[in-house]
């Protein structure tokens, strides 16, 4: 029987096992808080086609529940709720430990 922490690592890895989600994480890991709309725009630009917002929400939900991203909600009762995303310390720590992060200076060596 696996420990909860091991399941956590598998979930994190599985969340990254999709090309769209990987692109989202690579965008966010290099930025601070990124809004839903900015992620949406970036992704459409990267893959050169439209993506509906339902699909975006689906992928972001997987990244949040797998503890890769943290979601911040900005509730404005007069307009609507905006969500923004940030990478979690947990994800950085695990990805670093698993040797999955490539830093720019490593690439140029």
Is 1 an interacting residue with respect to another protein (CB under 8 A)? yes
**Does 38 contact another protein by CB under 8 A?**
no
Nearest-CA neighbor of 62 among 15, 9, 26, 16? 15
15 binds another protein (CB under 8 A): yes
- Residue 7: CB atoms within 10 Å: 11
Say which residue the tokens 């900015």 belong to.
38
Per-residue binding letters, 63-82, with another protein (x by CB under 8 A): --xx------x-x----xx-
d(CA 83, CA 75): 9
Q: Which listed residue (32, 45, 78, 107) binds another protein by CB under 8 A?
A: 107
Provide, rounded to whole angstroms, the least separation between the CB of residue 88 and another protein. Answer: 14
């Amino acid at each position: 029987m696996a420990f909860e922490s091991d399941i956590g690592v598998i979930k994190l890895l599985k969340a990254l096992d999709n090309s769209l989600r990987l692109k989202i994480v690579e965008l966010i890991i290099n930025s601070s808080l990124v809004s839903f709309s900015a992620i949406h725009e970036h992704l459409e630009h990267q893959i050169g086609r439209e993506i509906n917002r339902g699909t975006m929400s689906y992928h972001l939900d997987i990244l949040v529940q797998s503890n890769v991203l943290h979601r911040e909600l900005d509730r404005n009762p007069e307009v609507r709720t905006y969500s923004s995303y940030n990478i979690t310390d947990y994800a950085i720590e695990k990805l670093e430990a698993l040797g999955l992060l490539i830093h720019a200076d490593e690439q140029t060596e």
